[in-house]
């Protein structure tokens, strides 16, 4: 009997890589639908651009590397990378943002490392970090929920804004961010962080029209939709509970410690879990089988440290949401984590 060595991703169920990647895409559909409902058609525009760019970039690099194109594209890893990046950026970001980010993810982070199974970093998150550092203005132009804006953008408007910067009627992204009271809105994380830096308390920061208690309008439903999809992935044994469970628990625990010390200066665990991309990151990003830890204990450590860094960067860093940074940081630590969390060999004597 011949044994063959292969790099991750390794699956313990009888599905090929393409089937696993498709299941992850399907599980993200409830969250994507919720994003479209609450934040407009731009989400779909970004998804289409990301999908086309990801497949085209992968095909070109495979051709240059003289690798099989059709078989590789059928693993759907490029499509999933584009999907994760598209749902992470503002819906009406300029077209070149998603094209540049997707090309960076596929060509630089994935293919230059050797392709699927050899990339050190999560391609979508590495690309997100690159875009956020390089183009902070375009990457922070998030729209308020559709129910609160003065001018709703139709599908045609979304296409026009992405490619020209203006709607059919001539409204810019800055004008679309204005709510019905004439206030330019930000995401809950960005709003609270800015308010805290100006000397307000958490209670004062959240006591505004578009903050329902401690969450922004629409964010709860988007988070719950992705949570539903993530639990479906666990139920289908596509992922295990170790990384999402430890990551969510760490975010809750670390934020609770700060909240207990000073509730006026630090937001509650509920605020940190519901707002931003913690749930998406826990189930769809940190669980990447290539760049995540591969041992059971290692996954617990990996997820917990991601959760720790998310809260620390949110509180002390310059960026309101820190999931991408935390994931990339911990991707670098995966070899060390795996080394010290290897399961004991069968027959080993203490």
- Separation of alpha carbons 191 and 216, rounded Å: 10
CA angle 211, 212, 214 (to 5 degrees): 75
Would you list the domain boundaries of the chain? 17-340
List pLDDT tens digits, range 167-197: 888 877 777 776 544 455 567 788 788 888 8
List pLDDT tens digits, range 98-151: 999 999 999 999 998 888 888 889 999 999 999 999 999 889 888 777 666 666
Residue with token string 């999402």: 244
The DSSP secondary-structure symbol of 184 reads B
pLDDT value at 22 more than 90 = yes
Q: Could you tell me what percent of the chain has a pLDDT over 90? A: 57
User: What's the pLDDT score for residue 180?
Assistant: 47
Question: 187 — alpha (psi -120 to 50), left (phi > 0) or beta?
Answer: beta
- Separation of alpha carbons 267 and 285, rounded Å: 24
25 contact partners, CB below 8 Å, separation of at least 6: 76, 79, 80, 83
Could you tell me the pTM of the whole model? 0.88
- Separation of alpha carbons 303 and 280, rounded Å: 13
- Separation of alpha carbons 100 and 232, rounded Å: 32
The DSSP secondary-structure symbol of 292 reads S
φ and ψ at residue 140, rounded to 5 degrees: -120, 10
Helix (H) or strand (E) holding 212: strand 211-212
Stretch 240-247: mean pLDDT:
96
Q: Which of 161-170, 192-201, 202-211, 303-312 has the highest mean pLDDT?
A: 303-312
């Amino acid at each position: 009997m011949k044994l063959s060595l292969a790099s991750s991703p390794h699956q313990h169920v009888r599905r090929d890589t393409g089937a696993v990647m498709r299941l992850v895409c399907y599980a993200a559909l409830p969250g994507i639908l919720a994003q479209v409902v609450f934040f407009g058609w731009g989400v779909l525009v970004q998804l289409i651009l990301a999908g086309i760019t990801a497949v085209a970039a992968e095909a070109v690099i495979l051709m240059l590397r003289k690798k099989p194109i059709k078989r590789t594209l059928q693993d759907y890893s490029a499509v999933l990378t584009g999907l994760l990046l598209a749902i992470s950026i503002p819906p009406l970001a300029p077209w070149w943002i998603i094209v540049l980010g997707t090309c960076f993810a596929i060509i630089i982070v994935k293919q230059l490392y050797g392709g699927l199974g050899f990339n050190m970093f999560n391609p979508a998150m590495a690309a997100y970090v690159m875009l956020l550092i390089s183009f902070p203005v375009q990457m922070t132009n998030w729209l308020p929920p559709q129910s609160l804006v003065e001018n709703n953008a139709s599908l045609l408007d979304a296409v026009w804004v992405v490619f020209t910067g203006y709607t059919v009627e001539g409204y810019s992204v800055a004008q679309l961010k204005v709510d019905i009271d004439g206030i330019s809105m930000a995401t809950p994380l960005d709003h609270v962080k800015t308010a805290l830096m100006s000397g307000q308390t958490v209670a004062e920061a959240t006591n505004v029209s578009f903050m329902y208690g401690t969450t922004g309008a629409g964010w709860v439903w988007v988070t719950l939709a992705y949570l539903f999809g993530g639990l479906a992935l666990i139920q289908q044994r596509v992922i295990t509970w170790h990384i999402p469970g430890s990551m969510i628990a760490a975010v809750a625990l670390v934020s609770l410690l700060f909240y207990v010390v000073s509730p006026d200066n630090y937001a509650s665990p509920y605020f940190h879990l519901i707002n931003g991309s913690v749930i998406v990151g826990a189930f769809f990003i940190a669980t990447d089988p290539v760049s995540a830890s591969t041992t059971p204990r290692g996954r617990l450590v990996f997820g917990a440290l991601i959760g720790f860094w998310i809260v620390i960067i949110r509180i002390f860093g310059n960026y309101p949401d820190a999931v991408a940074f935390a994931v990339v940081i911990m991707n670098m630590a995966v070899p060390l984590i795996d080394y010290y969390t290897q399961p004991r060999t069968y027959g080993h004597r203490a």
